[in-house]
A and B are shown apart, each in its own frame.
Chain A
Amino acid sequence: MNRYEEIDHTADWAFRAYGNDLKELFENAAYALFALEGALDAQSTLTREIHVAGIDREALLVNWLSELLFLQETKRETYQKFEIEKLSETELSATVHGAQTQPLTKFIKAVTYHDLRIEQTEKEWQATVVVDV
């Protein structure tokens, strides 16, 4: 199973993340975000604890990914390993591992709700996400 694949979108970026369960799906969606930015190659030298909430599963995914973008920009860090510790319909706790980063030349402005879908197929969980670049 691939962790994610990029999907064509005229102006922005879109991807579909996969996971055997919801935790893995959320971890792989975070991985996809940094992979698309080309920001994955850092050594893990720091960790951060993250807690986010949302009104439902989709909002939780948007807020989780948005929090990572916020930390990336304000702390000048990039993350490559994601461990979701707790996940309910409306709350998430995670530890992420990453490193300080050089200024990036490509980045994602925001994670959108447009065409956002989290669904379970026979084989796995899938999430489709469109991001603004």
Chain B
Amino acid sequence: MSLLQLQGLSKQFGDTKIIRDVNLEIQPGEKHAIIGPNGAGKSTLFHLISGRYHVSSGSILFKGTPIHNRSPFEITRLGLARSFQVTNIFPLLSVFENVRCALLWSMGYRYSFWQLLGKAQALNDRTEALLDEIGLHARRNLPAGELAYAEQRALELGIAIASGAEMILLDEPVAGMSHTEATNAVALIRKVTAGKTLIMVEHDMNIVFDMADRISVLVYGEIIASDIPSKIRGNPRVQEAYLGEVVPGGSDA
């Protein structure tokens, strides 16, 4: 059974249709990339899946459970985590606290006000291990807002994977990075998402074709192609979209 199913998904703001009748199935363990020109609705699609936006019509099933129009925290608890295109961390908390907070729910602490974090050995060990993994151990006591950009991106990723989610949505994880930083970031993403299901939005085609098992092309809110990388590369409609020729996004009103 597919891990995530989008069925006839649409989203409109006022009269503007941003997502039009999207159908997509993601299999467990798949690394799926969503590409498309600016303004195609890639981020909106992520916001719909992760609960930031309500859907206009259609449904989203995660592990067979409908998750559309549920709160982000409910969706996260089911095992679907995400990162953000614009860095979205806890700027005044230390790097260590950022990661520890992200681990809390999945480790069963919920809203506890009767347990002391200092005594939570397993939690603190996991935090340290995760800090090691994302390469921020040396920065652990710094307020997260003071990290360099690439480090904030690494922390962003760390917060997303901390919950141990089965499926992770990454929204442009290497945007704004230098070539070296991006190479390191890709290596990090590979390492920390090994064995997990991944959907990523990314503009860097080298990274996309390198990492993805399957690629979906989103143009004007519609998926015009969804296939393995070699077939996407040869698809005339995709080439047309990327050469700048305006592809009318279908004829639905």
Q: Are A and B subunits of one complex? A: no
Residues of B within 8 A of A (CB): none
